[in-house]
Amino acid sequence: MKINLGLIFGGRSGEHEVSLQSAKSIAAAVNKEKYDLLLIAIDKSGNWYYVDPSSYLENADDPKNIKLKVSPDQQIAIVPSNNSNEIRRLSDSKVLGKLDVAFSIIHGTFGEDGSIQGYFDIMNIPCIGASVLGSAVGMDKIVAKNLLVQENIKVADWLVADKYSNIEKITQEAASEFNFPIFVKPACSGSSVGVYKAENISSLKESIVKALKFDSRVLLEKAIKGREIECAILGNDELIASIPGEIIPKHSFYSYEAKYIDANGAKLEMPAKISTDIAERVKEMAKKTYKALSCSGMARVDMFLTENGDLYLNEINTLPGFTKISMYPKLMDLSGISYSELIDRLVQLAIEKHKEREENLANVLKVSAY
C-alpha cells in the first residue's frame, strides 16, 4: 500500500522562496510507485492550501521571482478523524486526502525552529527531520554554541547583543577582543538571512542595528580564517556521515544569495580536497555535534578548517536545502545514497522515530493510570 506523503512548503519565513525551490526538486524525485504525494503549500500569511502539482508555482525556474500560485478555493485544514488525518477543504469540508507522513521543507522560522514539528506531534503524524527540541536548539545559534562548548567542540568566540544593549560599548568590546572583520548574525535566522560582515566600528554598529530587525538577539562573532567544510548526516541513532565537501564562495562570504539565488555564487568541491585523516575528523565532529544538539533524521553540519588543521563548528542546519544546487543531497549522492533513496530513508526514519515516541508515551500513560 502506498504511503500518503504530505510535502509541506512555503511558510511564514524569510526563506519562503528557498522552500518553494526545495519542494519543486523533492516533488520531481519522489517515487510515485511508493508514495501518493500530497502538496500542501503555506503562503506568507500562514494560510494552508492543497495544490495541483502541475500549476502551483509561478516563475518556477527563476529563484528571485518564484512564488506560489494558489486560490482561496484551495484552502484546507488538517483534521484528526478516526485514527487518521484528513485534508479537508475549508469551503465545503470535503475530504481531499489523508496524511500518513509529513515532510516539512519549510526552511527558517515556523518550519525549521520546532514550530511545525510540534504541530505534527500534536496531530500524531510522523514528521521527517529533527524533533521539536533538536529543531529549536539547532536554530538558536546562542543556545547551540553554549551546548557545543560543554561538549568541547570548538566554536568561534562570540558576544551577544539585544535591543537593550549599549551599542557603543559592545562594538568597542567586540573590536578589542576579536579584531575585524566581525560577523553579525541574528540568533535564530537560517541560511545567512540577516547576516553581515563588518569591516570597521562604523559598519559593526550599522550591522547590529540591521540584524536586530530580524531577531531580538544577535551574535557578534569572531571571524575564523579557514576553508568551509560541510558534512551531511542521516539517521536517528545509527548515523551515516557523508563524504565531506567544501564551499568556495565567490562572494565575500557564503551569503543567502550565493546559496540559493546566484547559481555561480560558490563553487562546490565534492569531495573536499582534504586528507583521509581530516575527512574522518570532520565526520566525527559532525556526528558529535548532531548528537549534542539532540538531532534526528538529517542535518548538514558546517565547519571551518584552519591552516593548522583545527576544526571549528560554524553551524548545524537541521532542515538543509533540497534545491538542485544544495549541498546536502549532493553529498549524500556522492556517498552512495541517491536523491530518491534519500527521501525513502527519511520517511522510514520519521516512522521509526514516531513509533518509538508512541511506545514511550504508552508506557507513560500506563504508569499514570495507577
pLDDT tens digits, one per residue of 214-261: 999 999 999 999 999 999 999 999 999 999 999 998 766 554 555 555
User: What letter represents residue 142's amino acid?
Assistant: I
Cβ neighbours of residue 250 under 8 Å, at least 6 residues apart?
258, 264, 265, 266, 267
pLDDT of 261: 53
pLDDT of 193: 77
| Residue from 145, 166, 150 nearest 221 by CA | 145
pLDDT < 70 positions in the chain = 190-191, 251-265, 368-370
How many other CB atoms are there within 10 angstroms of residue 335's CB atom? 17
Percent of the chain whose predicted confidence (pLDDT) is above 70: 95
pLDDT of 250: 76
pLDDT of 252: 62
pLDDT of 191: 57
pTM: 0.92
Cis status of the peptide bond prior to 186, with omega within 30 of 0: no
Cβ neighbours of residue 173 under 8 Å, at least 6 residues apart?
159
Q: Find out whether 259 and 300 touch, Cβ atoms under 8 Å.
A: no
Enumerate the β-bridge partners of residue 238.
none
How many other CB atoms are there within 10 angstroms of residue 164's CB atom? 6
pLDDT tens profile 158-177: 999 999 999 999 999 999 99
Cβ neighbours of residue 23 under 8 Å, at least 6 residues apart?
7, 9, 10, 39, 41, 105
User: What letter represents residue 238's amino acid?
Assistant: E
- CB-count exposure of residue 213 (10 Å: 0-12, 13-18, 19+): exposed
pLDDT of 202: 96
pLDDT of 94: 95
DSSP string across 124-148:
T--BSS--HHHHHHHH-HHHHHHHH
Cβ neighbours of residue 336 under 8 Å, at least 6 residues apart?
none
For the chain, domains (ranges, CATH) are 3-128 (3.40.50.20), 145-153+225-337 (3.30.470.20), 157-222 (3.30.1490.20)
pLDDT of 81: 77
